[in-house]
Each structure stands twice: as C-alpha cells, then as structure tokens.
Structure 1
C-alpha cells in the first residue's frame, strides 16, 4: 500500500540546495524544532484530514525534470521514512541523478530506526544532525555530520555558502531558499511586509 507524503513546498529547479540543479521537496512535519530553524513553518504536522501526495507519482514527475538530482528537506524527511523511500525509488526509476537528504536526526537516531535506515540507504548522501545557528558562514552546518552512502556526491560540493534564491510561487507568494543568516531573513521579512511598489 502506498504511503502518503505530507509536503510543505516543492521547487522544481533550485541551485542552492545541493550540487547542480535540483528538484527540492520540503516535507511537512518536524518534532525536533531546532532554535533558529530556517523553516519553522514546516514544523506542524498535517492533520488527519489533510490530503498527502502520492510519493510514487511525485517521484516520477520530479524524475522527468531536467535536474541533476533530488533534495529532501523539511520539516523532517525521516519522520515520514516509508513515503520518502517510495519517493526516492520512483525518482530513480526515471532519473539517474543523485539524492541528498537534510535531516535533523543525529546519525545514532537514524541508525536505530530500521525505517529511517532503509530510507537513507536509497540516497547518496545525508547531512544529519540538529541545526545550530552560527554567525560565521563556515558554521552553517557545524552541527551536521555528512553520511556518504555512495561516492556520487563529493563532500567538497556540499561546502556551505550563504547563497540564496528567491522565487515566485503559483499562489503569488515569494519563497526564500538557501542558507540565509538571521540578518538576511529579517531583511527579506521586512521586504515582504512592505510589498512591491507599482511605481
């Protein structure tokens, strides 16, 4: 039986969420709640009446895009490990690209869960561990540990940078993605409050 994948957002063409051009899925739901998290809107879980996505169908759709790979972030992807596994398998059936997972789980927690372990073994690399906000760009992932499942993603392609992208959404909102520090997030938030002038 197919699981449902609860999704916060999807970017079919991102340049700041892993090496190359990537399709990015931010899942909905995270029980960790790291202070300073980039995506606090992803923390709450979907209710029982919310309709999730079919991960097999979504994987095929994303796999048909002209991308170098798939990135899963959130929220916490490994709180939906069965659906994430289905998504990755389906993506790989139509796209030879790499798969990268951002997880707030420490490696020990991942390895202790058979379902989470199975999910990461379908990926090429996992950046694992809770987010800890730092002030220096080199500290973006200082709390993370890189788990290389294959040699298809090189560690030097995951060097953290303060790169960002802003994109228009289908619901006429803007999405800020990448690794902005607190100051840059505040600037973006203030711009959103002011709005864009018609002059």
Structure 2
C-alpha cells in the first residue's frame, strides 16, 4: 500500500480507525504503518508496489496509461497528495484498497475530464485517516471536485464529503462500497467448519483444452 504514517498507533487511534474503516481495511492500514516503522528503525529502504497478484492486472502500477504530465504530487489540505489525470477536473475518483490512483488511470482517461486522487494514508499520498475531513473539505471547496467516484473505502470518503458539503458536490458514484458488501456465508465465518468441509469435498476436474 504505502503512504501510511509510520508513527506507532496509540490504542485510542487504533480503536477509532477500526471503528471507521472496519476490521479488514483497518488491519491493512495498521500492518502497513507497522511495516514502515520497522523499516525506518532498521534503516531498510523500500518502495511502493501494488502486486499484480493482488489487483489482478499484469501491470500493477500502470505508469504508461497516463502521460507523464498527468501524474503529479500536489498539496491538498496541507497533505502531499498523489493524483492522476487532468488537474482541476470536476470528476474525481477516490480509490480504495488495495489499488491506487495509477490503477484507475485507464478509467480517468476513458471518462475524459477526470482525475484519480489517493486519499491521505492510501496509495502514494502522505497523511493519516484523521486527516480525511480537512483533506476532503479542501478537495471539494478548493479544487472544483463536483462528481465524486468512491471505490471501496473511498466510497465512505465520498459520502462523508458529499454530506458535509452538499452544496459543492453535485453527483456521487459508489463502486463496490465496503459498507454495502453482503455478509460472508456462514462457512466463511466458521473456519473449523470450512476446513472440515474442504477435507471431505473431492477436487473438481476441469476438462482440458
């Protein structure tokens, strides 16, 4: 993921983050922060990568999909922010996990007058979850963002921004919002039962060719 604040999390901040993001997204954010903290203590250099095996694309960071001039770091709400696409475009994609703005480059290119912007603490943007409110305010009041496209946890950020600034946001598009995902099947919530079932289920053979 990258971009998380490497400072150790306090118990209060941990509880707040898990309440806000849910266990899955929060655990990924915490793991990333722990990794950066350990890397910094050990003096180990590292780089940001979204593995193709995670996002299902052979070109994980698709640098070639957007012209070099359409990939930039900006200051938004005092936070170093990474974005892809047309600067100042009214349609703004807020990527969720585990992808980042680069992954959405083909979409913003196809849409046209659009951009994808990494939330604070996600992708290649600096900052933390607690910076979202002021950052979102700057996004919609200072950069002309009128149509917010939120993906996964980015959908929650888009809803928050539209709720707080309904006079500035004209349109919302939610892509796989994490808070509307269906509950997992009962077997997925009972690992012991799942293991028992899989041990007894014969493998399925697919026809060759």
TM-score (norm: length of structure 2): 0.34
TM-score (norm: length of structure 1): 0.35
* Greater Cα radius of gyration, structure 1 or 2: 2
Relative to its length, the structure with more helix (as a share) is 2
Relative to its length, the structure with more strand (as a share) is 1
